[in-house]
């Protein structure tokens, strides 16, 4: 429906990318969760919810590069693997652009106040080097975004180790 990759294809492409030498010092895995999507489906119906999912996919595709891996991996959950990043500031810029674009696309429906994206970000090799570990870190960061107010993004922050003497 969204014309984005599915979960298994995206994971396979991400694994292939992560297992080959890259031209940039970083890559970033982003987990994007539509905020309050159940409320949209419950209030406006599933056909309207499908329109919101299409707008979400459109915002993602227009905000990230063609060479990035973009997927819908769950009902209202999306993933982007940004390849070959030389400056981590690019990640922030892309997230801000995507949030703005999504809200602009929703203007015709009048639901900007109800929904947005909570985004979690992890970086390779800083946080992890495997898809599974990057995903776990980005997912944890996404839940931190939800805790601080949604419709925003957070970069994974590892917990400080606890030492017992």
Active site residues: 76
Helix (H) / strand (E) containing 71: strand 69-72
What SS3 state is found at 122?
A: strand
DSSP of 129-157, one letter per residue?
Answer: SSHHHHHHHHHHHHHHHHHHTSSEEEE--
Strands 152-155 and 26-34: unpaired
Tally of CB atoms within 10 A around 126: 16
Helix (H) / strand (E) containing 55: helix 46-63
User: In the block, which residue shows the tokens 């690019």?
Assistant: 90
User: In the block, which residue shows the tokens 């940039």?
Assistant: 24
């Amino acid at each position: 429906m969204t014309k984005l990759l599915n979960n298994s294809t995206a994971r396979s492409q991400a694994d292939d990318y992560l297992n080959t030498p890259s031209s940039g010092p970083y890559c970033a895995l982003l987990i994007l969760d539509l905020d309050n999507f159940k409320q949209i489906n419950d209030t406006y119906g599933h056909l309207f919810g499908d329109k919101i999912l299409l707008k979400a996919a459109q915002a993602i595709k227009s905000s990230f590069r063609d060479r990035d891996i973009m997927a819908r991996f769950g009902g209202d959950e999306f993933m982007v693997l940004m390849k070959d990043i030389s400056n981590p500031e690019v990640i922030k810029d892309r997230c801000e652009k995507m949030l703005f674009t999504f809200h602009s696309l929703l203007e015709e429906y009048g639901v900007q106040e109800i929904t947005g994206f909570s985004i979690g970000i992890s970086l390779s090799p800083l946080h992890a080097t495997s898809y599974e570990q990057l995903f776990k870190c980005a997912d944890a960061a996404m839940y931190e975004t939800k805790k601080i107010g949604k419709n925003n993004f957070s970069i994974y922050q590892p917990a400080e180790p606890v030492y017992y003497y």
